[in-house]
Amino acid sequence: MSELNNIAQQIIQKGKGILAADESTGTMTKRLESVGVSSTPENRLLFRNTLFSSDAMKSYIGGVILYDETIKQNSLSKNKIPELISGTGAVPGIKVDTGAKILANSTEEKITEGLDGLRERLKEYYKLGARFTKWRAVYIISENYPSKLSIHSNAHALARYSALVQECGMVPIVEPEVLMDGDHEALECFNKTSEVIKKCFDELSRHKVDLKGIILKPNMILPGTNSSKKIDTKKIAELTLKCLKVSVPAEVPGIAFLSGGQSELDATRNLNSINLINDTNFNITYSYGRALQQGALKFWSKNTEDIKGTQKIFNHRVKMCSLASSGKWSENLEKN
Ligand code: 13P
């Protein structure tokens, strides 16, 4: 097995998943202010340090995605944040894109930036302890979107990013996120997500990326947030698995879903339903941001001194997702 494949397998080993704690300062500020906490570097560290030093880390977290600010901070016990994370057995990772900006000649669609100077930044992150990275591309669903231009340019950027990351000895998370916003039906999400993912793999192959050394981070197949045609979790699972089967090459070791705005409960339930019928060789798990942190953040915002109480909520949420990654979750476990 290659070194990259070893790292990927460590991150997505059975019963574990990824904590996406890589919100940019802008996004984290929105999250903190929405619960009445001011967004200072100290507060951002305090909340994240609380999660990173929880019991759930050792048992259920295989990797943590950090933001540039956090990977350079010292933990409250004075060691470096990447050391705090690796001390729990999880792999430190880093978001390396610099955000999605409007694509030239489009009014709404976005292209993710960050390729210029990436090789040098990657070397620095490797020295800081990162062993995997994340780059997120975003796509809108509407009658004319995502356009061929957006699908092609984002796939190209994801492939150039992935090749550079592997060159530096790290595992790239490839994240093509087809957004939930809109009134489209689940079938449209299926068709468009399948097209987006296929195009990503065309480009990854063209750029000679070792597919055994990546992790795919896709969206689940869901109806748009404003769709009148809701479907049940079993149907979500069937469509999602079908999408992976038609678009993801078998060499890919793992799929770690984003939560994308689903509630904590929905993201857990749907992951469980997918794993109940997973007849592929892909290890299918979570790489959740909001769906792992929401409850803990809400509690913490009212009780910033109560580290243990915040960790209790986080531990429970992660345990539920871990069970869902093996198809062993059920709703009555939520009450324990
Ligand atoms: P959500 O799970 O909140 O969608 O975040 C995952 C992520 O990393 C988005 O890039």
Tell me: the pLDDT tens digits for 73-91? 999 999 999 999 999 999 9
DSSP, res 280: S
**CA dist., res. 214 & res. 199, Å (int):** 16
Ligand 1 binding pocket mutation candidate from 139, 287, 292 (most atoms within 8 A of CB) = 287
The atom of ligand 1 lying closest to the CA of 65 is 8
Cα of 257 from ligand 1 centre, angstroms: 9
Cα of 318 from ligand 1 centre, angstroms: 15
The mean pLDDT value for 287-314 works out to: 98
The mean pLDDT value for 246-272 works out to: 98
**CA dist., res. 317 & res. 98, Å (int):** 29
**CA dist., res. 180 & res. 76, Å (int):** 37
DSSP 6-29: HHHHHHT-TT-EEEE----HHHHH
Looking at residue 1, its pLDDT comes to 60
120 is catalytic: no
The atom of ligand 1 lying closest to the CA of 136 is 10
Could you say which of 16, 134, 217, 319 is catalytic? 217
**CA dist., res. 53 & res. 36, Å (int):** 23
- Going by pLDDT thresholds of 50, 70 and 90, the confidence category of residue 244 is very high
217 is catalytic: yes
Share of the chain above pLDDT 90, in %: 99
Cα of 175 from ligand 1 centre, angstroms: 9
How does strand 100-102 pair with strand 110-112? antiparallel
**What fold, for 3-335?**
TIM Barrel (3.20.20)
Write the pLDDT tens digit of every residue in 188-233: 999 999 999 999 999 999 999 999 999 999 999 999 999 999 999 9
Cα of 291 from ligand 1 centre, angstroms: 8
User: For ligand 1, which residues put their CB under 6 angstroms from it?
Assistant: 20, 136, 175, 258-260, 288-291
Looking at residue 257, its pLDDT comes to 99
Locate the DSSP E strands across the chain. 17-20, 61-66, 91-95, 100-102, 110-112, 132-139, 171-178, 215-216, 254-257, 283-288
The atom of ligand 1 lying closest to the CA of 293 is 3
Write the pLDDT tens digit of every residue in 94-131: 999 999 999 999 999 999 999 999 999 999 999 999 99
Instruction: Give the residue whose CA is nearest to atom 10 of ligand 1.
Output: 136
Identify the three-state secondary structure at position 92: strand
The atom of ligand 1 lying closest to the CA of 288 is 2
- CA distances 67 to 26, 135, 262, 284, Å, are 11, 12, 22, 24
